[in-house]
């Protein structure tokens, strides 16, 4: 290994003499910091030191405004990337074993030092990204400081004793990524005990290097953060395909994220957090303060020059005030100034990628010529001209395939119901801003919107935006953001697989196919001469193929027949569950609780029937079967009581105001049952089934392939406990075959795969392909997935149910919606 030079400890001394104000023309302080790094050539940071450059290939980082070269970066090869990963992995154990308060103290020091070097950090972020220095200073860097302070007290968020860090977190930047995006992920990963490998984008990498210098000054141990840069996108594949990476965070284009999905599928246990395409929108009602809405619209449109995912690009305006709103918006746009982004008097900077500028101009031209929209541009003498687009179709290219640039689509609507429908039609989901002085109206609209972030009479630019639907699966701030980088004690993180990527892709194509010898011959003598049907839409139905399979007891004797579900049965079950989701999720929590209490009552009445069935099918004693059924009854009662006690909470924010965190159901949840060694599948399937429906989801359940009868006996109770048709659907058949079509179905919101285990509670060898397939396919459609061991979660001493795990089921059954309630209108002065 070559010598490493210089060390971060030498670089951080440069900060003590630097003071820079971006208002001034002189950039001496920033140049001094750049020059201190080997005369402006930045090498990868590996194990706390800058790698010696030697004969490494370099590429330029330029000022997007004038094209001047700011610095040179080493183009890392596979060898350097491997060294960086090794450093992160080797440092993970010592960093995670450090006391939680010590980790938080270092993050606290980072916040203090960012405040100390704020001006030079503003200059670095602004000059590289093309964003105005005023915006960077007032919004991004200010929020970076608040974010670091927030996570410096993260031990109050949850009990980390029940969780362990994922290990090494790879954070990929993109051209439109800001330092705030990096810090949101980095801070949460560090305080939870993970090491980080940062891969900044080739167009905007200097802020990441400066932040690592500040982290070193704050006492961060060597190797906890490593940084590598590369001019080619091949680095994405090198890092994401490495089985030593425990979590991958990516900001950017969907196409690039899909490539990461392919590579990361080698290790099914590695998490993948995506923040991809999709910008924010705004709804202005006739009862709004129009002048205030105009200012918010301009700030949102111009955020990051319209090139960031949080930027605003659609404004829905009620017809009564449409013309007035349009005139005021045009007047405001007409006064915007565009120019050098380092001049704080300018409102618009420049796009960091020149290709985006060409795409932006071409998209505006096509919108007018091909789709008949009315496009009005402002500051036409400038390099980057903001635009207002009217009469645009929702099917136009600029709406379906959002482009980078400062533009807004103005779309009129008549009624409140129509505004909700328009906002929910988008395949993206980031944030929606609602403007009205009628608080009852906006709160009800916020409840109806299928958006993860809703802000009332302001825009959550500086607070961070979480993503949903085709925009990704990442949550900003709160318990969810910390859990992104943790593994619960109930997740068995098995040894990383050694399967190659080619083999994974081959297995994905072949997974779930039925061969000619997969048919099970039917026995002529059955213990119970009965054929169980499927349960779809509240009715017992024969399978579409009219085929059956036999079920055997513990002694290997044929017991009875069950239906063999096919692809069409999966489709019918998902459609039934999707139709039932709307009415079920909108029922009051009290009503859902009463239905589940009634379910528990009838289940208890029929408990002896279940005990008798378990005793026939398993090699268990009477007392063991009775205890398991009693635990099932306790599970149902527990979740019935949780129905109206897991609705959300009210949080403080880094700003003046409150944040409502509402737990919303996911939608259709597919639960695939598995086989454990200690208990029958009934208890483990039942706790996940009831947990999902208690939180407003509907379920398609695949009963355990080898012992489906205990699950099938439940539909007799569902028929009599007032459970609405379609809320629970039960299929039987080949486990992998049904998993394939459930995971591929676009209406399935989440897949819970209960993998089979052996006597040693280890995952069965044949389940690895299933986990890789579910992860690969789920990430492509950006649906959630959860891998669960197929053994019931009990405590070791008294064998009682672990309520902490039941709460974990509740956490995975919901997705948070953040409603920002800002204050300061009355006492603004």
566-616 pLDDT, tens digit per residue, is: 999 999 999 999 999 999 999 999 999 999 999 999 999 999 999 988 888
Residue 465: pLDDT band by 50, 70, 90 thresholds? confident
What are the CB-based long-range contacts (under 8 Å, 24+) for 652-656? 653/463, 653/820, 654/143, 654/146, 654/147, 654/149, 654/150, 654/463, 655/462, 655/463, 655/822, 656/822, 656/823, 656/824
Residue 21: pLDDT band by 50, 70, 90 thresholds? very low
Residue 554 DSSP class: T
Report the phi/psi class of residue 363: left, alpha or beta, with left for phi > 0 and alpha for psi in -120 to 50.
Answer: alpha
Which pLDDT does position 19 carry in this prediction? 46
Give this prediction's pTM: 0.91
CB 742 within 8 A of CB 748: yes
CB 650 within 8 A of CB 659: yes
Q: For residue range 32-60, what is the model confidence (pLDDT) as tens digits?
A: 888 888 888 999 999 999 987 776 789 99
Report the alpha-carbon distance of residue 673 to residue 828 in Å, rounded: 56
Tokens of 456: 């009332």
Which pLDDT does position 1 carry in this prediction? 33
Q: What is the mean pLDDT of the chain?
A: 86
Q: For residue range 616-641, what is the model confidence (pLDDT) as tens digits?
A: 888 888 998 998 899 999 999 999 99
Torsion sign (Cα): 694, 778, 497, 250:
negative
Residue 471 DSSP class: T
Q: For residue range 112-148, what is the model confidence (pLDDT) as tens digits?
A: 999 999 888 999 999 888 888 888 988 889 989 999 9
Report the alpha-carbon distance of residue 630 to residue 519 in Å, rounded: 36
Which pLDDT does position 829 carry in this prediction? 43
**Residue percentage of the chain with pLDDT more than 70:** 91
Which pLDDT does position 6 carry in this prediction? 52
3-state DSSP call for residue 645? coil
pLDDT surpassing 80 at residue 565:
yes
CB 633 within 8 A of CB 596: no
Domains of the chain: 4-276+482-487 (3.40.605.10), 280-469 (3.40.309.10), 533-816 (3.40.605.10)
Which pLDDT does position 277 carry in this prediction? 84
Cα dist. 616→603, 625, 629, 712, 759 in Å? 19, 10, 14, 15, 21
Q: Region 739-752: what's the mean pLDDT?
A: 95
Which pLDDT does position 9 carry in this prediction? 53
CB 819 within 8 A of CB 658: no
Q: Region 426-438: what's the mean pLDDT?
A: 91
User: Picking from 96-100, 160-164, 232-236, which range would have the lowest pLDDT averaged per residue?
Assistant: 160-164
Which pLDDT does position 440 carry in this prediction? 92
Buried b (16+ CB within 10 A) or exposed e, 97-110: eeeeeebbebbbbb
Which pLDDT does position 462 carry in this prediction? 58
CB 531 within 8 A of CB 550: no
Q: Region 308-313: what's the mean pLDDT?
A: 85
Q: H helices of 401-486, where?
A: 416-424, 439-448, 478-483
Listing DSSP states for 259-303 in one string gives HHHHHHTTSTTSEEEEE-S--EEEEE-TTS-HHHHHHHHHHHHHG
Which pLDDT does position 584 carry in this prediction? 97
3-state DSSP call for residue 555? coil
Residue 241: pLDDT band by 50, 70, 90 thresholds? confident
Report the alpha-carbon distance of residue 240 to residue 78 in Å, rounded: 13
Q: Region 697-725: what's the mean pLDDT?
A: 92
Q: For residue range 328-363, what is the model confidence (pLDDT) as tens digits?
A: 999 999 988 888 888 878 888 888 888 888 889 888
């Amino acid at each position: 290994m070559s010598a490493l030079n210089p060390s971060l400890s030498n670089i951080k001394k440069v900060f003590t003499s630097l003071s820079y104000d971006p208002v001034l023309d002189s950039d001496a302080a920033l140049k001094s910091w750049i020059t201190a790094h080997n005369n402006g050539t930045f090498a990868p940071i590996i194990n706390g030191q800058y790698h010696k450059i030697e004969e490494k290939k370099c590429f330029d980082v330029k000022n997007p405004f004038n094209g001047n070269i700011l610095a040179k970066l080493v183009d890392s090869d596979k060898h350097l990337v491997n060294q960086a990963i090794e450093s992160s992995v080797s440092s993970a154990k010592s960093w995670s074993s450090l006391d939680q308060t010590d980790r938080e103290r270092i993050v606290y020091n980072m916040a203090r030092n960012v405040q100390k070097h704020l001006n030079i950090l503003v200059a670095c972020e602004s000059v590289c990204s093309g964003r105005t220095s005023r915006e960077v200073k007032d919004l991004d860097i200010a929020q970076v400081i608040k974010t670091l302070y927030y996570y410096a007290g993260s031990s109050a968020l949850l009990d980390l004793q029940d969780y362990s860090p994922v290990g090494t977190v790879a954070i990929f930047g993109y051209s439109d990524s800001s330092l705030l995006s990096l810090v949101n992920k980095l801070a949460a990963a560090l305080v939870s005990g993970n090491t980080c490998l940062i891969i900044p984008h080739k167009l905007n990498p200097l802020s990441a290097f400066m932040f690592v210098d500040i982290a070193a000054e704050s006492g961060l141990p060597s190797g906890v953060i490593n940084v590598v840069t590369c001019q080619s996108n091949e680095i994405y594949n090198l890092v994401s395909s490495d089985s030593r990476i425990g979590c991958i965070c990516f900001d950017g284009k969907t196409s690039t994220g899909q490539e990461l999905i392919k590579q990361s599928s080698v290790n099914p246990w590695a998490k993948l957090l995506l923040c991809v395409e999709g910008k924010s929108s705004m709804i202005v009602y006739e009862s709004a303060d129009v002048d205030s809405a105009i200012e918010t619209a301009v700030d949102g449109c111009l955020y990051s020059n319209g090139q960031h995912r949080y930027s605003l690009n659609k404004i829905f305006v009620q017809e009564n005030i449409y013309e007035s709103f349009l005139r005021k918006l045009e007047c405001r746009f007409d006064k915007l100034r565009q120019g050098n982004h380092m001049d704080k008097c300018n409102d618009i900077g420049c796009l960091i990628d020149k290709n985006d500028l060409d795409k932006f101009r071409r998209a505006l031209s096509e919108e007018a010529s091909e789709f008949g929209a009315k496009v009005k541009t402002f500051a036409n003498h400038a390099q980057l001209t903001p635009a207002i687009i009217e009469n645009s179709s929702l099917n136009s290219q600029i709406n379906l395939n959002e482009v980078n640039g400062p533009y807004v689509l103005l779309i009129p609507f008549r009624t409140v119901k129509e505004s909700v429908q328009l906002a929910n039609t988008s395949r993206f989901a980031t944030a929606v801003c609602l403007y009205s002085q009628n608080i009852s109206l906006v709160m009800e609209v916020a409840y109806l919107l299928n958006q993860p972030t809703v802000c009332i009479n302001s825009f959550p630019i500086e607070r961070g935006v979480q993503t949903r639907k085709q925009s990704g699966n990442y949550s900003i701030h709160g318990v969810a953001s910390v859990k992104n980088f943790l593994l619960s004690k109930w997740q068995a993180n098995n040894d990383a697989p050694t399967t190659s990527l080619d083999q994974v892709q081959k297995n994905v194509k072949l997974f779930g196919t039925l061969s000619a010898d997969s048919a099970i011959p039917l026995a002529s003598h059955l213990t119970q001469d009965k054929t169980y049907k499927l349960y779809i839409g509240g009715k017992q139905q024969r399978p579409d193929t009219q085929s059956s399979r036999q079920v055997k007891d513990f002694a290997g004797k044929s017991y009875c027949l069950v239906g063999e579900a096919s692809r069409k049965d999966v489709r019918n079950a998902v459609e039934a569950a999707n139709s039932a989701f709307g009415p079920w999720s909108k029922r009051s929590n009290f009503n859902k609780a009463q239905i589940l209490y009634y379910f528990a009552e009838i289940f208890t009445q029929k408990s002896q029937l279940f005990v008798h069935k378990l005793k026939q099918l398993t090699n268990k004693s009477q007392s063991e079967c009775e205890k398991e059924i009693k635990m099932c009854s306790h599970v149902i009662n527990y979740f019935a009581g949780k129905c109206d006690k897991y609705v959300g909470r009210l949080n403080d924010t880094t700003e003046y105001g409150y944040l409502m965190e509402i737990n919303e159901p996911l939608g259709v949840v597919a639960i695939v049952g598995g086989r454990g060694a200690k208990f029958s599948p009934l208890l483990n399937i039942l706790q996940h089934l009831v947990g999902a429906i208690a939180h407003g989801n509907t379920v398609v359940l695949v009963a355990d392939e080898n012992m489906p009868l205990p699950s099938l006996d439940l539909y007799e109770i569902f028929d009599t406990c007032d459970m609405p048709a379609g809320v629970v659907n039960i299929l039987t058949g080949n486990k992998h075959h049904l998993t394939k079509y459930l995971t591929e179905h676009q209406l399935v919101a989440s897949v819970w795969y209960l993998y089979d285990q052996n006597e040693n509670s280890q995952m069965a060898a044949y389940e690895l392909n299933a986990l890789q397939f579910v992860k690969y396919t789920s990430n492509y459609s950006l649906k959630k997935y959860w891998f669960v061991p197929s053994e019931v979660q009990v405590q070791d001493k008294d064998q009682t149910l672990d309520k902490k795990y039941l709460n974990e089921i509740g956490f995975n059954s919901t997705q948070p919606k953040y409603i920002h309630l800002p204050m300061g209108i009355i006492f603004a002065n």
